[in-house]
Amino acid sequence: MSVPAVFDYHPVQSVDEAIALLQLYGDEAKILAGGHSLLPAMKLRLTQPEHLIDIGPIPNLAYIRKEKDAIVLGTLTRYKQIEQSEILHKYYPILPEGTALIGDQQVRNRGTIGGSVAHSDPAGDMPGIVLALKAQLVVQGANGTRTIAADDFFVDTFLTALEQDEIVTAIRLPLPAPHTGSAYAKISNKASHYAIAGCAAVLTINKKGLCTSASIAITGASTRIIRASEVEAALISKKLDDATITSASSHAVANADLISDIHGSAEYRQQMAAVITRRVIMHALERA
Amino acid sequence: MELEVHINGVIEGLDAVTNESLLSLLRREGYSSVKRGCETGECGACTVLVDGIARPSCVMLASQVGGCTVSTVESLGSAEKLHPLQSAFVEVGATGCGFCTSGMLLSAFALLQNNPSPTEEDVRDALSGNLCRCNGYARPVQAVLRAAALLRGERVEPLAHPTVSVDEVSSVATEQVASGESGKHPILQTSAAASGSGGVTTKIPVISAQMLAPSTPVVPAPRTQLHVIGTATAAHHAVKAVTGKGTFAGDFEPRKMAYARVLTSPHAHAVISSIDVSQAKALPEVLAVLTYKDVPRTPYARIERTGETSLLDQYCLDYVVRYVGDRVAVVVAETAEVAEEALRLIKVEYDVQPAILDQRRAMEPGAVRVHAERESLGIVDAERNIATRVRTEIGDVEQGFASSDHVIETEYLVPAIQQAPIEKYTVTTYFDADDYLVVRTNSQIPNYLRRTLAQLTGLPMRRIRVEQPEIGGHLGLRQHIEGEDLCALLTLATRRPVRLEYTREDEFRSNHVHQQYILRMKTGVRRDGKILASQMVVFADTGAYGTHALTAQSHTVHALALYPCANMRFLAEVLYTNHAPASLSQTYELQHEFFALESHLDDVARQLEMDALALRRLNWLQAGARYPLPLAVGASRGMNTIIDSKGLSTCLQLVEEKIGWKTKRNQRKNDRYRRGVGIALGFYGEPGVLPGTSGASIKLNEEGSFELFAGRSENGSQLTTYLTQIAAEVLGVTTEDILLHAADTSSTPFENSANDVVSFYLNGSAVKKAAEQMLRQILSVAGRILNVLPESLKINHGIIKGAHGMQTTLEQVAQHSLYVENRQLMTTSFWKGQTFPMTFAAQGVEVEVDVETGGVRVLNVVTAIDAGNPINPMLSEAQIEGDVAQALGLSLSEEFFYNQDGVPLLKSWSDAHVFSATEMPELQTYLVESHEGSELFGSKAVAGLAFYGVAPALANAILNAADIRIRYLAFTPERILRAIHAYMSRKSA
Ligand SMILES: Cc1cc2nc3c(=O)[nH]c(=O)nc-3n(C[C@H](O)[C@H](O)[C@H](O)COP(=O)(O)OP(=O)(O)OC[C@H]3O[C@@H](n4cnc5c(N)ncnc54)[C@H](O)[C@@H]3O)c2cc1C
Ligand code: FES
Ligand code: FES
């Protein structure tokens, strides 16, 4: 349909205002950020909120800052800003690299990192990247502010640990240890570029060339954003030669619930998760 | 809520409801340049600039733009003063149908604001959100780069559109030149002789130098006497397209419009056992609801059939539903949303029937009958679900196979796809002030619609008027009745203007698809490669109805004829299934046949350990030969079976050279990325006389311009440009002097061409004839003015000249005839279907296969087409590039999927896997000019031909690269990978 079902529209000027409205309307309200996922879903009647709370007008939620121990991104930071951020290119090139692969330029002009993370689409790129970066999600609700570790945040397909009256306000990325490399790549569909299988990897190597930390997340292949713990385990304390990486990567989606649809069968996604994981680890390693 | 928005520099106070999209607000306010292609943020047709940033306006709420600056294409420039971007789009031929153009221009504009010196990659990225189905993105990219240079104040090279000329078959040209046989073209002769080889030449030396390798001589072709034909005239509607003024089916809003929605079947095959619409009817603002109970059960066909046969197997509304998406009921209400809500209130009980979801099952004994009803007419064998069949045979095929050294058999599958033009299906019907039922639709069959709607509504034909607006891409999907009958019935029931506009999901679910084909090839060859017998068997899935069951198969032209031999057989069974009904591709429906044939030829060559091109050259159809499969279906029609085109060998030679056949065929192949090249040939033409006709009328205006009335509207194939060029050429004026009126049953002539190729010849010839008659009238008036014999006069640039400097102007002629002789100069002519000349093509593809992922990267596509003397080389090239883009989609990524219950799984653009600007490979396109051509200034239709060779060339290139042969389209990474794994396990076994 060309228009979503009827709703009330509430542009808000502050996070508090947004939270007050969320409290007031409960399940009937939804936050609107870039709108690239929410509005199509509303037009297709996949979701029909009665109140739309537009956080777009809230000032000062679109920023990329380096703090003492973290890099912090405001929830309304657009993909385009991430793509062009010098701070991120320096510390975490995985983020600009990942955003550059999203959809098309119009989506990247408007889509927000907070929207993507809160949307928790298994075929999206940001959730996996944020997970691999071991980000802390700063969320604010009626009971004040709390942070949720990315590992606890992505619960299931389109489901996060956000309470009904909470919104994501920022994403905190711990500063990388020395000799840390990060990378993201995916096998994607034509035109929409949603991931069929993607991998985000953050690796730290010590002086002896051993892997001291590995954080690997898989996008696209599974019905939810997943951490590839078996791959990580197979890398830690190892020297990352080709054989180690290849064998570790073959566990990329071990035990995961795989998607099988017109874009790719479960079998293909599984194979691609392994291939892409190997390639991404190699790439991250080069950067470490 | 009230909003203050700066739209195109003007502050507007506007009222919007909260759930209104910016797109809807803008269109409501009259900015109809902002188009609707999906409304879910995927196609970019609705792109606008919000505070300078390019955005799809369909996924932005109107409420969100309060205080913002919004720009649409109307703000860039007007027809009088185009922005350099707009001029560049016009100059390079970047507008196909024009539906995506405004969006592209705005994305490009936003790019240049931030980055005045973009790279090609930057431009492709900026356009990545603007899908186009017409032109393959190469030209818009070129236009943006050109405009950027101009805006930086740089000088840009004038545009050149070289064609490659062939005078004689190139391999023998040297001898002929040496013996002086090409004497009629002295330049060709000397230069070709000087460099001592083939007859490939080009008109414009500047470009040709880099274009052709040193081995190929480069010389200007002889100048012809034509002024408008052969020039890169801007597309007829280009200025309209770049200023957002194109009027498409959805750009017209009669007052008090009501909106229709169709309830469609959730089952692939079922009988409606009960249907209750009372609740739907009771819903406020619902105006009418129709089911099968409200309409007569009259069998009809959704498509014009000009031949003898007729197949009537459809009903406006029926109690049997035959595919998921088939019509069940239709509702009209004050808004589309209310209509949609009413659909949910209709209670239907279905008696679900077994369904046929694989055409191989259709003929099995005991298979359910898709058409068990008595009323349908013309089905060949309803018992076995055979809608129609074609058989043609020469010689003794079995004997031919028996006497062959090798007999090679292979099977191919071309899956269904959906053509998916960017514009959605849209029809509006209303009664005008004269009480005519007006039908405005983007289905391109005005006369057939008029006739059929008269039958179905009971109105006399004279009270029905069909208007054809511009069409936002035809692609074969706009050549049948889709919902015009329902819409008309609703207008009749309510006396209100009614619009039925599909959503993108409706397009995929209910509209027709390009049918699935299974093809079996069998070839018998002698050890030396000579083909002794050949056979092609086709099983076509026409889906639930035989809409186009006859169209595709009833050509007299078949791919198999490319390699004539004494014993040939072509068989086709067109089978009913419970899939969506079949539509066409835009032109001759031969891509599946060429995919099978040209893949198969490489298989044969491999078996013989022979060079694949040598095998082709040994067996192909040559100039002077007889078309080998005569009387296929055209038994009762006249035939012209001698092939006169000599273009094929030049095309192949060119492609062989440009793709690097000799060097790239044998590359090292053991790393992860493997490269290979493949080539395939194609042709079309019509050796049998086609039924069909078209007319044209021309009227001379008193200022010396002409009104031209023709039967077919613009659909992205550039027909209207060609028609104005033809008229301008004959009448000695420019295309600006030709005012075209197309496709309105109340004022333009009848025409019933089956596709863009046929329409090119039918309409082009009718216009040429009418213009010639007009010229004779003009010259005779001029003769009387100047007191000389008309035969002594010539017209050029609107001035009629005789001997001794005497002259008069068109304007004077017009005024003299109107006011002195009291006659309006006006002519009308018609053209009958004829045989059309053969047009040949060669296409080469280079690929890189990633053997770990199965991904295929296309590095280069080279196309050479024997275009005769092209009417407009620029637009022909653009069209070829568009066809290549379509063919790449068909070959690599697009596929129409159903689940096990026959439910289509495509819902949105994201599911369609079409190519975007960033994914298109390099395209090299060559128009080979051959002089035998057609009666239409020697020009030939090129539409669709470049569609044929891409899939088989890709298949052959993949075979060359990775040693795998895939006989199923599309070559998705998954399918390729599976083949690679199978190959590796075979090898290690
Ligand atoms: C054609 C197309 C192609 C695309 N391709 C890709 C791709 O390749 N990769 C990819 O990753 N994505 C892709 N996307 C999705 C895109 O990235 C979305 O923009 C993104 O997923 C959502 O961000 P948004 O800002 O638009 O959020 P919205 O659509 O505004 O919101 C999404 C959801 O998050 C909630 N939400 C938003 N912000 C907050 C917040 N601060 N706190 C709590 N809840 C919030 C909303 O209520 C909603 O449920 C594509 C989209 C389109 C239209
Ligand atoms: S993106 Fe808006 S109509 Fe397609
Ligand atoms: S010109 Fe792009 S869709 Fe027709």
Residue B987 included in any domain: no
Residue B645 included in any domain: no
Closest CA to B341 of B380, B406, B386, B283: B283
Closest CA to B466 of B500, B425, B427: B427
State CA B207 to chain mean position distance: 28
Q: Which range has the worst mean pLDDT, A2-6, A158-162, B933-937?
A: A2-6
Interface of B with A in 29-68 (CB under 8 A): 36, 39-42, 44, 47, 53-56, 58-61, 63-64, 66
When CB atoms are compared, the residue of A54, A192, A268 closest to B977 is A268
Specify whether B23 is located in the same domain as B146. Answer: yes
Specify whether B256 is located in the same domain as B154. Answer: no
Residue B33 included in any domain: yes
Name the CA radius of gyration of chain A, rounded. Answer: 19
**Closest atom of ligand 3 relative to the B422 alpha carbon:** 3
Specify whether B292 is located in the same domain as B427. Answer: yes
Task: Tell me if A120 CB under 6 Å of ligand 1.
Answer: no
Mean pLDDT for A215-224 is: 96
CA distance B699 to B210: 46
Beta bridge partners of B531: B525
Q: How far is CA B362 from CA A84, B354, B411, in A?
A: 57, 12, 18
Which ligand has the shortest distance to the CA of A113? 1
The one-letter amino acid at B163: T
Residue B125 burial (10 A CB sphere; 0-12, 13-18, 19+): buried
Neighboring chain A residues of B982 at a CB cutoff of 8 Å: none
Q: How far is CA B466 from CA B708, B829, B830, in A?
A: 18, 21, 20
For residue A1, what is the nearest residue in chain B, using CA coordinates? B503
Residues 6+ apart with CB under 8 A from B587: B476, B684, B755, B756, B757, B941, B943, B944, B945, B947
**What three-state secondary structure class fits A11?**
strand
CA distance B129 to B377: 47
Of B100, B135, B158, which residue sits at a domain end?
B158
Alpha helices in chain A (DSSP H): 15-25, 38-43, 79-84, 86-91, 94-100, 105-110, 113-119, 126-132, 150-153, 229-235, 242-249, 266-287
Residue B409 included in any domain: no
Residue B116 included in any domain: yes
Closest CA to B679 of B774, B605, B778: B605
Nearest chain A Cα distance for residue B126, angstroms: 6
Residue B469 included in any domain: yes
CB contact under 8 A, A268 and B913: no
Q: Going by CA atoms, what residue is nearest to atom 51 of ligand 1?
A: A36
CA distance B332 to B337: 10
For residue B60, what is the nearest residue in chain A, using CA coordinates? A35
Domain of residue B268 covers: 249-377+422-509
Residues 6+ apart with CB under 8 A from B621: B561, B562, B563, B564, B627, B628, B643, B648, B683, B838
Task: Tell me if A111 CB under 6 Å of ligand 1.
Answer: yes
Specify whether B133 is located in the same domain as B17. Answer: yes
Q: Does B914 touch chain A (CB under 8 A)?
A: yes
The total of other beta-carbon atoms located within 10 Å of residue B463's CB is 16
Closest CA to B75 of B111, B112, B100, B105: B105
pLDDT in tens, A256-287: 999 999 999 999 999 999 999 999 999 999 99
Which ligand has the shortest distance to the CA of A153? 1
Residue B872 included in any domain: no
Name the helix (H) or strand (E) containing B344: helix B336-344
**What three-state secondary structure class fits B450?**
helix
Residue B622 burial (10 A CB sphere; 0-12, 13-18, 19+): middle
CATH number at residue B484: 3.90.1170.50
**CA B705 to ligand 1 centroid distance, Å:** 55
Size of chain A, expressed as the number of residues it contains: 288
Q: How far is CA B795 from CA B704, B731, B833, B984, in A?
A: 12, 7, 30, 70
CA distance A181 to A281: 9
Asked if residue A275 lies in contact with residue A248, where contact means CB atoms within 8 angstroms, the answer is no
Residue B520 included in any domain: no
Of B780, B810, B832, which residue sits at a domain end?
B832
CB contact under 8 A, B18 and A52: yes
Those residues of chain B that have pLDDT short of 70 are 167-224, 305-309, 551-555, 630-640, 932-933
Domains and CATH numbers, chain A: 8-52 (3.30.43.10), 64-174 (3.30.465.10), 180-287 (3.30.390.50)
Mutate to test the pocket of ligand 1, among A27, A30, A38, A119 (most ligand atoms within 8 A of CB): A119
Let me know the angle formed at the C-alpha of A189 by A187 and A195, rounded to the nearest 5 degrees. 50
CB contact under 8 A, B129 and A3: no
Q: State how beta strands B347-352 and B386-394 pair.
A: unpaired
**Closest atom of ligand 2 relative to the B909 alpha carbon:** 4
Task: Tell me if B572 CB under 6 Å of ligand 2.
Answer: no
When CB atoms are compared, the residue of A52, A106, A271 closest to B56 is A106
For residue B853, what is the nearest residue in chain A, using CA coordinates? A272
CA distance B95 to B238: 6
As for the ipTM of the complex, it is 0.95
Beta bridge partners of B14: B3
CB contact under 8 A, B912 and A35: no
Nearest chain A Cα distance for residue B42, angstroms: 7
Closest CA to B288 of B317, B329, B331: B331
CA distance B534 to B566: 9
CA distance A281 to A180: 12
Cis peptide before B147 (omega within 30 of 0): no
Q: Does B178 touch chain A (CB under 8 A)?
A: no
CA distance A282 to B3: 53
For residue A56, what is the nearest residue in chain B, using CA coordinates? B64
**B605 DSSP assignment:** H
For residue A33, what is the nearest residue in chain B, using CA coordinates? B60
CA distance B394 to B399: 12
Let me know the angle formed at the C-alpha of B970 by B967 and B976, rounded to the nearest 5 degrees. 70
Residue with tokens 């030969």: B625
Task: Tell me if B474 CB under 6 Å of ligand 3.
Answer: no
Specify whether B144 is located in the same domain as B263. Answer: no
Q: Going by CA atoms, what residue is nearest to atom 1 of ligand 2?
A: B41
Asked if residue B100 lies in contact with residue B40, where contact means CB atoms within 8 angstroms, the answer is no
Of B832, B859, B894, which residue sits at a domain end?
B832
CATH number at residue B810: 3.30.365.10
CATH number at residue B120: 1.10.150.120
When CB atoms are compared, the residue of B19, B125, B855 closest to A4 is B19
Specify whether B147 is located in the same domain as B254. Answer: no
Q: How many Cα atoms are found within 13 Å in the side-chain-facing hemisphere of B618? A: 17
Task: Tell me if A42 CB under 6 Å of ligand 1.
Answer: no
The one-letter amino acid at B933: G
Neighboring chain A residues of B915 at a CB cutoff of 8 Å: 190-191
State CA B608 to chain mean position distance: 37
Residue B425 burial (10 A CB sphere; 0-12, 13-18, 19+): buried
CA distance A232 to A183: 15
- Total structural domains within chain B: 3
